[in-house]
Chain A
Amino acid sequence: DTAVSQTPKYLVTQMGNDKSIKCEQNLGHDTMYWYKQDSKKFLKIMFSYNNKELIINETVPNRFSPKSPDKAHLNLHINSLELGDSAVYFCASSHNRDLSTDTQYFGPGTRLTVL
């Protein structure tokens, strides 16, 4: 009965490859997010989708492309992976798009290592 799930949990790949991370939530939430946690443990929001519509796109290289086939899924595709992409990526969801009142539920994270 996992609320927010991500696959894979660990991903090791070579520079230059293209990879995807999948996220699914079974909470019936309308909004989903992708965060990047760097080596210093800072979490930075990357993207946010509300009902399959992109509402936040922070300063992220266009090698990163989110895809939302439906409101329960938000996948992250990364092209031409670079060493600096190594991090833990967290998916999250919330009931609506207003972070001022709404709690986010986070997935377990995907640790990406680029060699």
Chain B
Amino acid sequence: KQEVTQIPAALSVPEGENLVLNCSFTDSAIYNLQWFRQDPGKGLTSLLLIQSSQREQTSGRLNASLDKSSGRSTLYIAASQPGDSATYLCAVQTGANNLFFGTGTRLTVIP
């Protein structure tokens, strides 16, 4: 059964730093991997979706990579800002319409 793990569980960085969030999954037979952002009391916002045939996706200051064979993905955030503070979740799709989420990394960017 698919298991998705995110390390670290929490991360604090000073504003302006570049940072990397990690996601690993146990079953490499995935359709895609998504990174989401979750703000307290709000829903999930999809940030990036990487198809299984792709290696990376970029959106603004965000870059997500996917290494399907090793079961890993990273989310790179450049020049972090206090507004980036949130919980970041990765999720993999395996099988038709099955989405497995990790436990998330709570990011705090200190002004």
Name A's B-contacting residues (CB within 8 A): 4, 9, 40-45, 48, 55-56, 90, 92, 97-101, 103-109
Contact = CB atoms under 8 A, between A and B. Distances in A.
A108 B41 contact: yes
A7 B34 CA distance: 26
B18 to A, nearest CB: 25
A43 B44 CA distance: 11
Given A42-B101, A55-B97, A4 B43 contact: yes
Contact of A45 (B32, B52, B99): B99
B103 A42 contact: yes
Given A90-B43, A99-B31, A99-B32, A40 B103 contact: yes
Interface string B66-105: 0000000000000000000001010101001111111110
Interface of B is mostly: strand
A107 B99 CA distance: 16
B61 interface: no
A73 B89 CA distance: 26
Interface of B: 31-32, 34, 36, 41-46, 49, 51-52, 87, 89, 91, 93, 96-104
Given A56-B97, A100-B93, A41 B103 contact: yes
B103 A106 contact: no
A71 B87 CA distance: 30
Given A99-B93, A100-B31, A45 B98 contact: yes
A56 B96 CA distance: 9
A108 B42 contact: yes
Nearest to B87: A41
A43 B91 contact: yes
Given A41-B103, A43-B91, A97 B97 contact: yes
A106 B44 contact: yes
Nearest to B93: A99
B96 to A, nearest CB: 8
